Structure 1
Amino acid sequence: MSSKFLERIIEPLIVNLMQQSKLPGLALSVIKDGKPFYAKGFGARNLKKNIPFDEDTLFGIGSISKSFAALGIMQLVEQGKIDLQSPVKKYIDFRLGDKKNPIKVHHLLSHSTGLPELLGTIVAITRHLGFFENVIPMSSWDDYLLFINGAGTEVIDIPDKRFFYNNDMFTCLGLIIEKVSGMRFEEYIRENVLKPLGMNRSTYLREDYDNDNNAMTGYLPLDEEGNLKESVPPNDKFVYAPGGLLSSVNDLQNYLIALMNEGRQGQSQILQKSSIDKMWTPYNKTPEDSSYGHGETWYGYGWMIEKDFFGYEVIQHGGNILISSAMVAMIPEIKMGVVIGVNCDSSGLLGPLAHGILAILLGKEINKAAPLLQVQNKLNKLVGKYTTYKGLQSLEIFLENGILYAKIPYPYLPKPTILPLAPENIDELKFFVPIAFPGMKMKGQFFIDEKASEVRLLVERYNFHKII
């Protein structure tokens, strides 16, 4: 397959997806046979200035940052400075767990501590975005550890029994790297991972972002008027390890190629193959809704492993920091990979898009690989304003974070009522409104007449026609 063939298939798809989902800018990189194969940017990194988003634009990669923290830990394991099976309290002031079932470094890496998300990193992120509802002590490392160690009653199970995705445990891993290496986390990763891989513009630091001449403007989700709000990355030491790295698709491409090349990039060996194999070992099965649609998905060390993608194992991770999203996915067996970044919250779309591109490279049908893209396209056709006969009743259908909603104004209520529409049969466009009373549902069905360019919604005895 030539890059021109791939270009003809995916570029119209990306443009349509960006328009439907209101994505300001997007960049994509594709790796084939362990080499760069295709890279291109679409849209704007800054809408006001209309500056292009390209393959070198810096954006927040969110939780893909976890793999860098995990790599840093594994480097220190290779040096004999960290033992994965040692209790976390050996390295930092960590008081969760008990003597009989201690929480170990391995558990932090694999989300198997038995501790649900504590949202400490969200406090840090939202403060940088200008939201101050959660005014709790969260400025120093002492504050942070006090917050973590106060969560003893939040532990649900002993380690290794459950999957609880937990950003705060990766913040603890970042602190372990600092304590063991004697370097600040961001310095350690820069010197031992980013520089050896030639990822010279990738950074955790706000000042680097401010001084870079090709960095994204991030955008918060649409407000009630339908506008995107400009924002800057929430750079904070508590966010660095779980989600704070800024990078470009070209830099991330170097990263994936090195990992698929057994840790080598030119003359640099950032990690031994045996350590990479440990990172990609499936330790903890994720809930079914964490999968992008193919077989079982497990968590390794900072990576998700999807076991059966057309017979291949896919190593992947997504990321989202509210103002930008990213996705990386690779098939190490054949040295194939995809990197995607956007400057807004769209993480739910990027996994299916990456899988669709991998499927094309494998000669498979994109709809079989990424059915969510087909569903997204179908749902977008339903979005709009509807009225009954003579406009006597109206409603609006909108899509937010993959969920369809009906917004219904009533003259006797001060605000419109917003109801989620749960799919009953997506092929037949049948939906229902969940009601708390057992056995009760308000059902509806959409009908699309492509020839007449008409969309109708039948809700019990009411017939709504899409007008916009």
Structure 2
Amino acid sequence: MKQLLKIIILLAFVSGCSEKKKPIDKQAAQFTSELTELKDYFKIPGLAVSIEKNGENIYREYFGAADLEKSINVDSTTLFPIASITKAFSGVIIMKLVEQEKLSLDEPINKFLAKPILGDSILVKHVLSHTSQGNVGKNFYYSSRFGLITNVIEKASGKSFSEMMEKEILTPLKLKNTFLLKDSTQISRIAKPYILDNGIEKGFIDYGYSSSAGIVSNLEDLAIFNEALDNNSIIDKESKELMFSSFKKDMPYGYGIFNQQFENLKIVWAYGQYDCYSSLLLKIPSENITLTLLANNSLLSDPARLINGDVTSSLFALSFLKNYVLELTEMPLFEKQDSISKPLSNTAFYRKKILGQALAESYMARFDPNKLKTSAKLLNHIFAEYPDYSDYADLNLLHNLSFLKNVAFYMELGEFNDFDNQILDIGKQLLQKEPNNPYANTYLGNYYARKGNTEKAKTYFENIVNATNFSNNWYTKEAQQWLNENK
């Protein structure tokens, strides 16, 4: 009996030791550490994060506050407005209508409008893919015209947009925490909105909904929606593949959702950005893995300029990719101010990571001028390591370089000329490909205006104002205002 007792005690001891030696999930630990760092860096009050792989949840964490004033933490019951991720839901409804033969993507958009407001050559598929502006079907410009898809859904179906959302998605998937945000009577479980200005301040909620935005949801329901896409239960495989494919080669958008190639991987993604909320849904179909993030200020999305169609400008997306897809857990996400690491492996990802941080630092420089220096240091490092920047220059890099000049100007830090050559080179390179690109024209117009060269500035601002088939936007108004003031 004593011998048996000794054996039992020994087995219990061995079992306890083996439990203590259970390997730590390095991916989750590193990802959590980086998310904490990103949350603090961008001063996001509350953050909800989930990863699904092969139909199973492998990571779900809640960080920070749903309500700072009442000290209520974000948890599984917290809801978030998801802004433009609504577009993916609308894309699904459109594909359902196509499957039901109630709609053709090749029909003119004007057929569905009370009054024809766009050119007859603009089809439903052009509005759905953000290719309706400029040269129709040939250029991607993220556009408010996507809201016209509301009219398409309603006229093709004979039902209201809210009825179609309920009938085709919310009811069949039993999404109990998802709804279209109409008014303040629905906000009881929604995370409080915040805005970063002079510190973290109380924000506001954008009410109303359309095909462009307006859904409120949580991690649990978005995981159900994601699984329905993965297993083709909400739309068929052919519809999904069309929705997830670029409208044309090298374009970053399909039908209601972004997609791009990076490191031999196809990334399908959507983002949301209100003034006081932001969100990201990122899928790697070949790996059957999906990331979802929800936040109660705009800084999950805004600093990365996701509107330009490159999710690898987002440090949140890069953290997920390096830890869960590319097996680069040991590579640090953030570079320290006093020293910058060298690319030991995967130089393409390394360059993206440095540029992503430089872009973020330029955004945050509006709150802390010292970050202007950090952004400049990172950019100088990249230009030294990879001097032929024409190989990797894009609109986000031009934005970064131009924004540093804006920060220096508005914060009265003196003229900032460090990257003037790059601004001119990259701006002209981009405009050779797309002469009417409103963003590139804005950056070069502002560049010359600040230099006092009104004649050259005028050329770029006139390009914006005189461009045909563009809806009015902030850049149109700013260009016209400058022209009015400099006649």
**Superposition TM-score tier, normalisation by shorter sequence:** 0.5 to 0.7
Kept in 2: contact 1:61–1:244 (CA 8 A): yes
Task: State the alpha-carbon separation in 2 of the partners of residues 2 and 184 from structure 1.
Answer: 53
1:230 equivalent to 2:184? Answer: no
More strand by share: 1
Q: Does the 8 A contact of 1:112 with 1:284 survive in 2?
A: no
Q: Is the 8 A contact 2:43 2:196 kept in 1?
A: no
Query: Who is 2:298 aligned against?
Result: 345
Distance 1:328 1:422 in 2: 37
1:192 aligned to 2:156? Answer: no
Q: Paired residue for 2:282, among 309, 314, 329?
A: 329
User: Residue 260 of structure 2: SS of its match in structure 1?
Assistant: strand
Q: CA separation in 2, counterparts of 1:49 and 1:198?
A: 31
The AA in structure 2 aligned to 1:241 is S
3-state DSSP class of the match of 1:183? coil
Of 18, 22, 34, the residue aligned with 1:13 is: 34
Kindly indicate whether residue 180 of structure 2 is the aligned counterpart of residue 180 of structure 1.
no
1:243 alignment counterpart: 213
- State percent identity of aligned pairs: 25
| CA pair 384-73 structure 1, distance change in 2 beyond 3 A | closer
Report the residue type matching 2:316 in the other structure: L
Summarize deviations over 1:185-212 as a string: whole Å, max 9, x none.
Answer: 12211221122223221111235x7446
Aligned to 1:153: none
Question: Residue type matched to 1:354 in 2?
Answer: A
TM-score normalized by the length of structure 1: 0.66
| Matches of 1:405 and 1:161, distance apart in 2 | 31
Give the conservation status (yes or no) of the 8 Å contact 2:366–2:407. no
State the secondary structure of the residue aligned to 1:241. coil
Gap change, CA 1:311 and 1:179, over 3 Å in 2: same
How much has 1:416 moved relative to structure 2? 6.0
* 2:231 counterpart of 1:304: no
1:115-166: CA deviation from partner (whole Å, max 9, x where unpaired): xxxxxxxxxxxxxxxxxxxxxxxxxxxxxxxxxxxxxxxxx43x21222211
Q: Does 1:160 find its partner at 2:160?
A: no
Distance across 1 between alignment mates of 2:192 and 2:418:
35
Q: Distance in 1 between matches of 2:255 and 2:407?
A: 42
In the alignment, the residues of structure 1 paired with residue 417 and residue 81 of structure 2 have an alpha-carbon distance, to the nearest angstrom, of 32
Change (3 A) 1:91 1:40: same
Distance, in Å, in 2 between the alignment partners of 1:81 and 1:75 is 9
* Counterpart contact for 1:398–1:404, Cα < 8 Å: no
Specify whether residues 383 and 95 from structure 1 end up closer, same or farther in structure 2 by C-alpha distance, changes over 3 A only.
closer
Q: 2:228 and 2:103 mapped to 1: Cα distance?
A: 23
Shift of 1:54: 2.4
Partner SS for 2:252 = strand
Match of 1:129 in 2: none
Stretch of structure 1 that moved more, 248-257 or 210-219? 210-219
Query: SS of the counterpart of 1:200?
Result: coil
Query: What's the counterpart of residue 441 of structure 1?
Result: none
SS at match of 2:61: strand
Cα separation, partners in 2 of 1:86 and 1:421, compared to 1, 3 Å: same
How far, CA to CA, are the matches of 1:52 and 1:22 in structure 2?
15
Selected match of 2:317 from 354, 357, 366:
354
How many angstroms does 1:62 deviate by? Answer: 1.5
Q: Does the 8 Å contact 1:110/1:284 carry over to 2?
A: no
Give 3-state SS (helix, strand or coil) of 1:355's partner. Answer: helix
Q: Does 1:66 align with 2:87?
A: yes
Preserved CA contact (<8 Å) 1:88 1:94: no
Aligned to 2:178: 202
Match of 2:19 in 1: none
Give the match for residue 451 of structure 1.
none
Q: Quote the Cα distance in structure 2 between the aligned partners of 1:77 and 1:382.
A: 46
Write the distance in 1 (CA, Å) between the matches of 2:243 and 2:414. 42
Q: Does 1:317 pair with 2:270?
A: yes
Between the aligned partners of 2:374 and 2:67, the Cα distance in structure 1 is 25
| Partner residue in 1 for 2:240 | 276
Greater Rg over alpha carbons, structure: 2
Question: 2:162, 2:417 → 1: CA distance?
Answer: 43
What are structure 1's unaligned runs of at least 5 residues? 115-155, 265-269, 286-295, 387-394, 410-414, 426-432, 439-468
Instruction: Structure 2 unaligned segments of length 5 or more: list them.
Output: 1-21, 305-310, 334-348, 376-398, 421-445, 454-487
Q: Deviations over 1:40-77 (max 9, x none)?
A: 11000111011111244211212111111111111111
Name the structure where helix makes up a greater proportion of residues. 2
* Alpha-carbon contact 1:220-1:322 (below 8 Å) kept: yes
The offset of 1:421, in angstroms, is: 5.4
- Quick one: distance in 2 between partners of 1:221 and 1:324? 11
Q: How far did 1:94 drift? A: 4.5
Change (3 A) 1:37 1:213: farther
User: 2:340 maps to which residue?
Assistant: none
> Does the C-alpha gap of structure 1 residues 422 and 63 become closer, same or farther in structure 2, counting only changes over 3 Å?
farther
Q: Secondary structure at the match of 2:180?
A: coil
For 1:215 and 1:375, the matched residues in 2 are separated by 32
Aligned pairs for 1:127-142 (under 5 A) are none
Higher relative contact order (CA 8 A, sep 6+): 1
Contact 2:281 2:290 in 1 (8 A): yes
Whole-angstrom distance in 1 between the partners of 2:239 and 2:61: 32
Could you report, residue by residue, the CA deviation over 1:352-402 in whole angstroms, capped at 9, with x for unpaired residues? Answer: 31232133112432652751554468777997578xxxxxxxx99899x97
Query: By how many angstroms is 1:235 displaced?
Result: 1.8
Measure the CA separation in 1 of the matches of 2:405 and 2:318.
Answer: 27
Of 91, 95, 103, the residue aligned with 2:122 is 103
**Residues 383 and 189 of structure 1: CA distance in aligned 2, closer, same or farther (over 3 Å):** closer
CA distance change for structure 1 residues 82 and 381 in 2, over 3 Å: closer, same or farther? closer
